[in-house]
Amino acid sequence: MKKTEGQIKIITRNHKATYSYILFDRFEAGISLQGTEVKSIRQGQINLTDAYCKVEESELSLVNLHIAPYAMGGYVNHQPKRKRRLLMHKREIVRLRSKLVERGFTLIPLALYFKRGMVKVELALAKGKKMSDKRESLREKDAQRELRNYRQ
């Protein structure tokens, strides 16, 4: 398969996000990485589960993203859970900051992918679900699954 200019190769997804949060707006951001981090990402040694975003001053950063140390990295290896800077336009960051000030909103990463050779992060503005909402979404999921099985 040839790579086209706009082709996206998904590295990992945050599967817990749709279960634990109600998702609203979605955004795309670049991520500032070190060389050994990119090599680890290419090997798929990454975990998005507990990651979230913070707006500090006028910068957006990704916290708790775990990228395993590169096996061949030696002394130049990176720290697995360091804070990573996200790259977005300043006006978008200001708009996000105003949304995050509202009660209950958080910014979480949904997916990490390669787009034109660059690592990108899909972010979502989200609000935490209560336990009853989580049960309701599980019931809906089961009903959809049974309906699919019934049709086949």
Between 118 and 76, name the one with better pLDDT: 118
What is the spatial distance between Cα 27 and Cα 110, in angstroms, rounded to a whole number? Answer: 10
pLDDT, tens digit, 9 for 90 and up, residues 20-66 = 888 899 999 999 888 888 888 888 888 888 888 989 888 999 999 88
**What domains does the chain contain, in order, with CATH numbers?**
9-151 (2.40.280.10)
Residues for the chain: how many in total? 152
What is the spatial distance between Cα 45 and Cα 47, in angstroms, rounded to a whole number? Answer: 7
What is the spatial distance between Cα 136 and Cα 31, in angstroms, rounded to a whole number? Answer: 35
What is the spatial distance between Cα 147 and Cα 132, in angstroms, rounded to a whole number? Answer: 23
Helix (H) / strand (E) element for 123: namely strand 118-128
Banded pLDDT at 2 (limits 50, 70, 90)? very low
DSSP 135: H
pLDDT, tens digit, 9 for 90 and up, residues 35-44 = 888 888 888 8
